[in-house]
């Protein structure tokens, strides 16, 4: 066992990030990999136990990390995002949660064997899904806009309210058993409302300070982070478990103030959240004991988990979404996906200790029961969401789509060539007339500014993981590239060469990879299209290699992109030399004279049979 606390901290963070990378590299659910790694280094190999090593600071550390993750999730809850399906979100988050609470409580009592009092408390806790579970799954599955948005909003809204429902149930159980007075019960409701007001008030005040320049740019993210922690701690001091409600209210208020600096805050919080989620999973799973894992194998627990998976969640979603206009396939997906996670695990320990101290003997199995449900849902939903979404046609696409910014004759031809390989293409421009060629070729188009909030909330860019900035404005291209680097990654962002000035005039941190050759800017490419240049596809063979292609066609041919035998799209970029295997298709822009020369060469090589 690793006794050095410093080594343990570094190991936890490192294993968490490594798990995220492995999940990304092999397209696996990150939460599944992190859970398995935590179990491996913790109870199975016994390398370390963070709960024992951290001692009294273990639970506060978990709580503060959960607060930051929950705030980051709620910071993305802009009400404009749910235009058109607010009713679905409201019904699932309220009526659906209530139905799940009641049916889940009955399942915990009659199947898991808990007393009705303890089952009533745990039924409330088990409605919690949470952004720490859902957000990684949504990134993995690439769901279409409506089911993805509903799952995200439900997770972030129900997360704090699920814990409050369980806390309300606990207060009611203690009151019904004569352990607390009516005053204590009333205090709970007042404190919950007061915590939400604190969070909303601090969020509004902080937003105003940010917007009016009272906080310098370099301090904005640190000030917001500290404010989140202060709000959480203050609310927790008022009454336990109301802190998550306060930070959620704070995030929602700031999200809907439409702050000019909100995007920078979101990028910072997203990076912090990835680190925290990775660390939390390793800490929680590696702190479990072998005894707790063995308790999961109880047949009652297994039946309870199956009931939660195949009865409670589907029934609650189907009943709550009657009459809201959701298609059956979306209701089927929503009725299956509901992974439980960090909130349920961390809060269950609190309820177990309070109920045990109050004389409820069956409360000692709460931790094992929660763990069984968490692992079952994480594995089942994490491994099935992509497959099920694909079967139900609710997945955007398996292919990496391309967004081309700038309508022109060349971009229309380029988009058609990419689309011929069954890859989704979207061309967006601020001018309707600039998109006429693309519309004629059957390419999907959108009129608008890709940097505008309208486009952000009304154009679904999820299927498009590659961006090409090809407008006639160099500065606008650079601005587009800078805007999308945090979301798409620099390796997926390209722009046409700068026709005037020098590329070095622009910082490398804001420009995309330069496409093709520096001589072929958007003006030149459009001129060549107007002169009759055409798309040509050439498949490499053992005899006709890429080197031979370059030697023979380089003078009148402009290589645009390649599609290898694994169907990966590879753009030709300035200064990058590549080699391609047999079976790769090279797509190029070729002059009409070169096409004629090729045809004549082929004709001359054809033998003419002699006449009898």
Q: Per residue in 162-199, is it b (16+ CB within 10 Å) or e — as a string?
A: bbbbbbbbbbbbbeeeeebeeeeeeebeebbeebbebb
91 token code pair: 């019904």
pLDDT at 376 over 70: yes
User: What pLDDT, in 10s, does the model give residues 497-527?
Assistant: 877 655 555 555 556 788 887 778 888 889 8
Residue 167: name the closest of 200, 122, 128, 101 by CA: 122
Q: What is the pTM of this model?
A: 0.65
User: Under a CB-based contact definition with an 8 Å cutoff, are residues 480 and 405 in contact?
Assistant: yes
User: What pLDDT, in 10s, does the model give residues 212-233?
Assistant: 888 888 888 888 889 999 999 9
Task: Provide the pLDDT confidence category of residue 310 given band limits of 50, 70 and 90.
Answer: very high
Degrees, nearest 5: CA angle 34-141-283: 15
Task: Provide the pLDDT confidence category of residue 413 given band limits of 50, 70 and 90.
Answer: very high
Task: Provide the pLDDT confidence category of residue 266 given band limits of 50, 70 and 90.
Answer: low
Interacting residues of 394 by C-beta distance below 8 A, sequence separation 6+: 143, 144, 147, 329, 330, 333
Give the orientation angle of helix 299-307 with respect to helix 366-391, to 10 degrees.
40
Degrees, nearest 5: CA angle 172-182-233: 70
Task: Provide the pLDDT confidence category of residue 181 given band limits of 50, 70 and 90.
Answer: confident
Task: Provide the pLDDT confidence category of residue 269 given band limits of 50, 70 and 90.
Answer: low
Domains, the chain, in order of start with CATH, read 5-391 (1.20.1530.20), 401-604 (3.40.50.720)
Read off the pLDDT of each residue in 344-358 and give the average, rounded to a whole number.
Answer: 74
User: What does R_g of the chain's alpha carbons equal in angstroms?
Assistant: 29
Query: Is 465 in a helix, a strand, or coil?
Result: strand
Following CA atoms 276, 279, 282, 286 in sequence, which dihedral angle do they give, to the nearest 10 degrees? -110
User: DSSP code of 297?
Assistant: T
Predicted pLDDT of residue 611: 47
Q: Which is higher by pLDDT, 310 or 360?
A: 310
Following CA atoms 107, 380, 76, 426 in sequence, which dihedral angle do they give, to the nearest 10 degrees? -140
Q: What is the Cα–Cα distance from 316 to 335, expressed in whole angstroms?
A: 8
Predicted pLDDT of residue 58: 82
42 token code pair: 């913790």
Q: Which is higher by pLDDT, 309 or 256?
A: 309
Listing DSSP states for 215-284 in one string gives S-HHHHHHHHHHHHHHHHHHHHHHSTT-HHHHHHHHHHHHHTTT-TTHHHHHHHHHHHHHHHHHHHHHHH
Q: What is the Cα–Cα distance from 85 to 570, expressed in whole angstroms?
A: 38
Q: Give the end-to-end CA distance of the chain in Å, rounded to a whole number.
A: 92
User: Under a CB-based contact definition with an 8 Å cutoff, are residues 424 and 464 in contact?
Assistant: yes
User: What pLDDT, in 10s, does the model give residues 192-208?
Assistant: 889 889 999 999 999 99
Read off the pLDDT of each residue in 39-49 and give the average, rounded to a whole number.
Answer: 87
Predicted pLDDT of residue 203: 92
Query: Strands 493-495, 513-514: parallel, antiparallel or unpaired by DSSP?
Result: parallel
User: What pLDDT, in 10s, does the model give residues 544-571?
Assistant: 877 777 776 545 778 889 888 888 888 8
């Amino acid at each position: 066992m690793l006794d050095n606390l410093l080594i343990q901290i570094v190991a936890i963070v490192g294993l968490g990030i490594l798990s995220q990378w492995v999940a990304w590299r092999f397209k696996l659910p990150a939460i599944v990999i992190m859970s398995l790694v935590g179990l491996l280094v913790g109870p199975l190999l016994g390398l370390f136990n963070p709960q024992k090593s951290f001692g009294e600071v273990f639970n506060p550390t978990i709580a503060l990390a959960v607060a930051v993750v929950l705030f980051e999730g709620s910071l993305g809850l802009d009400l404009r995002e749910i235009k058109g399906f607010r009713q679905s979100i409201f019904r699932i988050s309220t009526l659906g949660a209530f139905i799940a609470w009641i049916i889940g409580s009955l399942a915990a009592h009659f199947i898991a064997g808990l007393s009705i009092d303890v089952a009533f408390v745990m039924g409330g806790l088990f409605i919690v899904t949470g952004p720490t579970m859902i957000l990684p799954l949504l990134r993995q599955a690439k769901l279409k806009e409506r089911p993805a948005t509903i799952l995200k909003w439900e997770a972030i809204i129900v997360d704090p309210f699920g814990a409050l429902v369980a806390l309300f149930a606990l207060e009611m159980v203690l009151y019904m058993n004569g352990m607390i007075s009516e005053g204590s019960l009333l205090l709970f409701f007042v404190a919950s409302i007061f915590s939400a007001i604190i969070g909303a008030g601090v969020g509004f005040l902080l937003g105003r300070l940010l917007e009016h320049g009272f906080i310098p740019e370099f301090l904005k993210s640190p000030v917001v982070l500290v404010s989140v922690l202060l709000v959480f701690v203050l609310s927790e001091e008022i009454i336990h478990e109301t802190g998550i409600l306060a930070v959620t209210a704070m995030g929602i208020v700031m999200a809907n103030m439409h702050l000019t600096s909100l995007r920078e805050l979101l990028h910072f919080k997203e990076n912090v959240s990835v680190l925290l989620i990775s660390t939390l999973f390793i800490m929680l799973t590696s702190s479990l004991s072998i005894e707790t894992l063995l308790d999961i194998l109880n047949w009652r627990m297994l039946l309870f988990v199956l009931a939660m998976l195949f009865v409670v969640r589907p029934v609650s979603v189907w009943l709550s979404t009657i009459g809201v206009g959701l298609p059956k396939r979306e209701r089927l997906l929503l009725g299956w996906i509901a992974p439980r996670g960090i909130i349920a695990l961390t809060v269950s320990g609190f309820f177990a200790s309070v109920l045990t101290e109050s004389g409820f003997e069956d409360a000692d199995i709460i931790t094992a029961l929660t763990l069984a449900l968490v692992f079952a849902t994480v594995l089942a939903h994490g491994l099935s969401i992509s497959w099920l979404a694909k079967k139900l046609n609710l997945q955007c696409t398996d292919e990496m789509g391309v967004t081309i910014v700038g309508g022109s004759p060349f971009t229309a031809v380029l988009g058609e060539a990419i689309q011929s390989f069954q890859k989704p293409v979207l061309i967006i421009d601020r001018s309707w007339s600039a998109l006429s060629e693309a519309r004629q070729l059957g390419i999907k188009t959108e009129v608008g500014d890709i940097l505008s909030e309208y486009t952000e909330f009304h154009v679904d860019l999820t299927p498009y993981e590659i961006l090409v900035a090809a407008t006639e404005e160099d500065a606008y291209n650079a601005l587009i590239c800078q805007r999308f680097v945090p979301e798409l990654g620099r390796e997926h962002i390209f722009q046409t060469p700068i026709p005037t000035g020098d590329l070095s005039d622009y910082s490398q941190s804001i420009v995309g990879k330069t496409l093709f050759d520096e001589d072929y800017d958007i003006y030149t490419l459009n001129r060549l299209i107007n002169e009759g240049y055409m798309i040509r596809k050439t498949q490499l063979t053992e005899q006709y290699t890429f080197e031979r292609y370059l030697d023979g066609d380089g003078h009148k041919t402009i290589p645009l992109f390649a599609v290898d035998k694994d169907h990966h799209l590879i753009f030709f970029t300035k200064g990058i030399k590549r080699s391609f295997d047999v079976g790769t298709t090279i797509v190029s822009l070729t002059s009409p004279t070169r096409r004629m020369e090729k045809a004549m060469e082929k004709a001359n090589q054809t033998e003419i049979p002699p006449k009898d």
